[in-house]
Structure 1
């Protein structure tokens, strides 16, 4: 009898499809291809204006301070410092919330007014290059300075404060003429002068990122609750009553003592009557089975 052939002899590797090579015994498995890059990990970050977690911490520390009568001094000092830090963090988060709200509210107004100021500045520069009169050059330079301040006003107005428009709505007939002469005759908002001063000092970015003028909450020290044991209410002493010469029933009536003798529960009384009736019936018969 011929010897049994091996598996490799009966089915060579070339006869197996490449996708099934790993199933053939004796053939090493192909290593996985390494990734060219790792996928980015997206972590959900808490919004800057999320204040619920900060408020919870403030409540926890405040309650701990109220109940820390017998706590060590260093622990109380640590809690007080933590409370001040959390309150400042809460004020910063609320200021950031107001800032984001103002940015969203006045975004389009600032954009359109910035584009308008850029167009005015472009026209004035073109006129300055074309003019030859010295007086007109000085006038155009003064107008250009005003328009440059207007442009910086639209870009560097404090983001946390309400934006006051530079160019209120005008009629379509006078709109072209108003843009040409640069709106120099109109009154400017109060912050316009601050923007002009910041241009000279080089602090425009600082002006833009300044916080709102709203008052910041001043951290207050929590009140210590004096937890003393409650005193028992003093009951009024009974007025002495003279009961000489009275019998027992009269004395009890005078002192207001209720007589509970002889009073039974009507439900239990009825039940007892029913029991007695049953007993009477049982006494009158021998059980019913032996009756004739």
Structure 2
């Protein structure tokens, strides 16, 4: 066996592949990073707002221009217009909600963290309290801190957020912060805490709002109604051989240890299988044979007699 040649002795590399084989800089393992901020992808709503607006324009033009529309067609278009308008309002509300969440996310987060820290400090002070007046005072402060925490968390997401605490540049003492007037939503959240309906308030469900029950539309029956003549014909077809009943009959268990001929003989003996064609067909010519016999028995003589 010939010795293997070294890599330096190989001269069979094509000129086009010389830069790929004999190059000094190694191939980068990863793609180079892009410089600059990443591109913000536009969020697309589930139901396109532009498509809904186009449908509203089309239906509005149809109702305004054609005055001679039938009553049922006009009613159907008016219902469709109301549904499209409701869908457009829902899309606008969702768009506003997403914008408010993005705008006030950091403010809500910082105020939630501040209320959490205040609540932890008050719990430690409560364990160290000795007098009854001090305990009552700390419990009242804890209640305010809990409401502040729920305020930052359960404030309606589709509304402009009103901050609880003064801005960073303002210099106020703790006593002034305690005596500061709370926003109107603070009392609403305090009441909702007792009722246990903070989730509805967070997602924009206010008092007097009643959710409509979801109606399930039943699809119309696709099968055509059978005529009386078709039912009579089906009955007539089923009468002579009674094959409909034979299909519904449950077959008897068979012994598959026997071969086909032995099983056939066993079925003939038990009557499960009819072999002759004459036995399968109804006896049509029997009345004629009986008539011939009766004529022979009661004959008065004939040509051959």
2:45, 2:91 within 8 Å by CA — same for their partners in 1?
no
Per the alignment, residue 140 of structure 2 pairs with 142
Distance in 2, matches of 1:74 and 1:47, equals 33
Q: Is the 8 A contact 1:143 1:182 kept in 2?
A: no
Q: Which residue of 2 aligns with 1:73?
A: 71
Gaps of 5+ in 1: 1-43, 213-292
1:83-115: CA deviation from partner (whole Å, max 9, x where unpaired):
011111111111111111111110000000000
Question: Is the counterpart of residue 98 in structure 1 residue 96 in structure 2?
Answer: yes
Cα deviations by residue, 1:235-278 (Å, 9 ceiling, x for unpaired): xxxxxxxxxxxxxxxxxxxxxxxxxxxxxxxxxxxxxxxxxxxx
Distance in 1 between the 2:100 and 2:204 partners? Answer: 13
Cα contact 2:52–2:84 (8 A) shared by 1: yes
Post-superposition Cα deviations, 1:46-91, rounded to whole Å, max 9, x if no partner, equal 4158421110010011111123322211111000000011111111
Max Rg structure: 1
Matched residue, 1:52: 50
Q: Which residue of 1 aligns with 2:119?
A: 121
Q: TM-score, normalised by structure 2?
A: 0.50
Q: Which has the higher contact order (CA 8 A, sep 6+)?
A: 1
Q: TM-score, normalised by structure 1?
A: 0.53
Tell me which of 199, 204, 207 is aligned to 2:201.
Answer: 207
Contact (CA 8 Å) 2:96, 2:158: kept in 1 or not? yes
- Which of 161, 164, 186 is the matching residue for 2:180? 186
Q: Indicate how the Cα distance of structure 1 residues 139 and 49 shifts in structure 2: closer, same or farther if over 3 A, else same.
A: farther
1: CA distance, partners of 2:118 / 2:176: 6
Unaligned runs of 5+ residues in structure 2 are 1-41, 207-305
4+ runs of 1 displaced by more than 6 Å? none
CA distance in 1, matches of 2:203, 2:145: 22
2:263 maps to none
